[in-house]
Structure 1
Amino acid sequence: MNILMTTADHLMIDRRILQEAQTLVEQGHQVTLLAGFECPQRESYSHNGIKIERFMFDWGDSRFSALARRYNLQPGSSTYNRAWRLFRAWANRVASLNSFEQFILDRMTEYQVDVLHVHDFPMLAPAVELAKMRKVPLIYDAHELYYAQVQLPEATQRKYKKKESRLIKQVDAAITVNPYIAKLMAERYAVTAPHVIMNAAPKVPVASTSLLRERFGLAPDDNILLYQGWISDNRGIERIVEAAANFAANTYLVLVGYGAFEDTLKKLVMERNLGDRVFFYGGVPSDDLHELTCDADLGIIPYHGVDENNYFCSPNKLFEFAVAELPFISNDLPFLHDIVATYGNGLLADLNSAEAIASAVNQLFGDSAKMAALKDGAKKAREAINWDVEGEKLLNIYQRVTG
């Protein structure tokens, strides 16, 4: 079966996407992943049997190009430029696809497809069009409430929510990342609750490593607090950095990941003279993350509910901590609360100020019995929330969709 996947990811492809594709490849399917349409350059390569294609958006629109040829409009002329402005206004406000979505559809039509599987809202409109054209099943994988991102203007949020509500009714199966977001989508869009496939990590052996300690000159008995993932604002990461000033003498913060906010954090470290307390590892491929995670003593999820996605989060790092048998500390958010209540692998604390973070981290590292109990909970979580379990859910969805 030819499965065509698409995602807007143009920096690093989400581990969830690669795992889903890999699971399908292992079942004998051909998976082509169109990963990013605003990449620095056109690329084509294979990763673990997955054919991956990456594209550069040309800022044009094939529909307008056809019109320009038909009416002999010369590029650069005033008539051409005026027509292009009018066309763009039509595409953005009236047409079912804007120019970027049309570019995605054009690229998608270049491939054979028996099942179409698209990740997140920007891919949904062109996917609905292609599914109609090719008469193939469409699976919509919503990694979040896309419209609810705090950085989007309110008018844009309303527009995206209305559009997603209309389009999701045209898919053959919808998937999302946890029961809370599934419930919200069902209520707000008046649809059957999407299937839930969590962002679980593969259950690989727990590694005995000292990669972080060797990199930063830390001793075996030093305590490492680990943040990993995308480094951006609105995640509370700056509070962890500030908290490091009040960590106990043998406790250090390591950040693994990258993002535009990293430079701001590095400046903060320099201003607060925390260079011997806070270390930046940089970004690593998903396949290399597990060994680094295994060298830490405690993970941290500092999200603090700035929007609904943040409040109802079930981030990749939660599951990467689980398969590494690493306890974590976080704010008391709904899904994280459920995980801690079920497995006992984390501490829910006040992480809304640097002082509170430092106090919670120091108290936990100073309580060996509590740390041992959390470690036992992390071992239980490893057995229950991993990709072996979640991958089977994906295959069951495909079985239902394809008959």
Structure 2
Amino acid sequence: MKRIGMFVWNPFTNDARVLRECTALVEAGHRVDLYCLNDGTLPEVECPMSGFRVIRIDRTPPFARWLPFFRKRKKRTLVIGVMGALLAPWLIPVMLVLFLLMRSRFIRYALYNSFGILRMTRAARKHDYDVMHANDVNTLPQAIGAARGAQIVYDSHEVQTDRTGYGSMQGKLERWLLHFVNQTIVENDTRADYHQKLYGMRPSVLHNYPFYEPIIPQPRPLREELALAPDEPILLYQGGIQEGR
């Protein structure tokens, strides 16, 4: 039996690939802890019927909880900030951070993610694992930081150099972090070929097969339900909705 710490950068509510990986590892006799994000509505620790443990991490900075209050009272916040700077100079960095958080979405995003990465790493370091499994490049730093001698598996679900919001910087980060990785896996041969072309090493392929479930197709009158004409095309899209897809 191996102890496996797995990381994913979402609240883990409908991630089919990660669910199947966790259940397959449990079925093989291993112990799995899955570290993911906490969106504030789900349990911090959860043990699904599948037999692995889910640990959700809050990435909200402590002082960011005051943002809604300050946003509603911008003029009052400015006055308080000036008075605070005059009376207590040590408050200047705090007020500056709050001001930047209110004004810049990018800074909020970066700060929240930084707290998430640090807290996820710290939580995993409290336990001893034989294997660290990082899903995508945004959890690879956590796996490396919490490894403490454990083997590191990098599971790349996407082409990290060409996914929405990513670019050359993520490619450079991925290239550097791969020096700490023991095994890389991707979900099809096309991505494995591309990875080999980029980095000179071919990862293993782990296809994305869901649970087998016998299904008897049941017809559904979509056109009647949606009041569509008989010749109106219907496009079915499955997957996350985001820019670029």
TM-score when scaled to structure 2?
0.69
Counterpart for residue 127 of structure 2: 111
Shift of 1:37: 4.9
Correspondence 1:177-326 to 2 at 5 A: 177-190=187-200, 192-210=201-219, 212-213=220-221, 217=225, 226-235=236-245
Q: 1:163 matched to which residue of 2?
A: 173
Alignment partner for residue 163 of structure 2, among 141, 149, 154? Answer: 149
Q: Whole-Å Cα distance in 2 between the matches of residues 85 and 129 of structure 1?
A: 29
Q: In 2 relative to 1, CA 85–172 (structure 1 residues): closer, same or farther, beyond 3 Å?
A: farther
Structure 1: runs of 5+ lacking an equivalent: 62-75, 87-96, 236-403
Displacement, 1:113? 1.5
Match of 1:129 among 141, 145, 163: 145
CA distance in 2 between partners of 1:10 and 1:59 (Å)? 17
Change (3 A) 1:186 1:18: same
Kept in 1, the 8 Å contact 2:132–2:152? The answer is: yes
| Residue identity (%) | 25
C-alpha separation in 2, matches of 1:121 and 1:33: 16
Per the alignment, do residues 207 and 78 of structure 1 end up closer, same or farther by CA in structure 2, a change over 3 Å counting? farther
Query: Compared with structure 1, are the counterparts of its residues 214 and 38 closer, same or farther at alpha carbon in structure 2 (3 Å cutoff)?
Result: closer
Unpaired runs of at least 5, structure 2? 64-84, 98-112
How big is each residue's C-alpha offset from its partner over 1:100-144, in whole Å with a ceiling of 9 and x where there is no partner?
Answer: 42222112223332211110111111211222xx21111110001
The RMSD of aligned alpha carbons is 3.3
1:300 aligned partner: none
Which residue of structure 1 aligns with residue 90 of structure 2?
79
Counterpart CA distance in 2 for 1:36 and 1:109 is 17
The residue identity in structure 1 corresponding to 2:32 is V
Q: What is the total number of aligned residue pairs between the two structures?
A: 201
Q: Aligned letter for 2:37? A: G
Structure 2 letter corresponding to 1:82: P
1:184 Cα deviation after fit: 1.8
Contact map agreement 1:119 1:140 (CA 8 A) in 2: yes
Asked whether the equivalents of residues 8 and 37 of structure 1 are also in contact (C-alpha less than 8 Å), the reply is no
Per-residue deviation at 1:159? Answer: 1.8
Residue deviations 1:330-355, cap 9 Å, x none?
xxxxxxxxxxxxxxxxxxxxxxxxxx
The offset of 1:98, in angstroms, is: 4.6
Quick one: distance in 2 between partners of 1:25 and 1:213?
40
Higher relative contact order (CA 8 A, sep 6+): 2
Whole-angstrom distance in 2 between the partners of 1:78 and 1:37 = 35
Q: The residue matched to 2:198 in structure 1 has which SS?
A: helix
The CA distance in 1 between the partners of 2:172 and 2:30, in whole Å, is 34
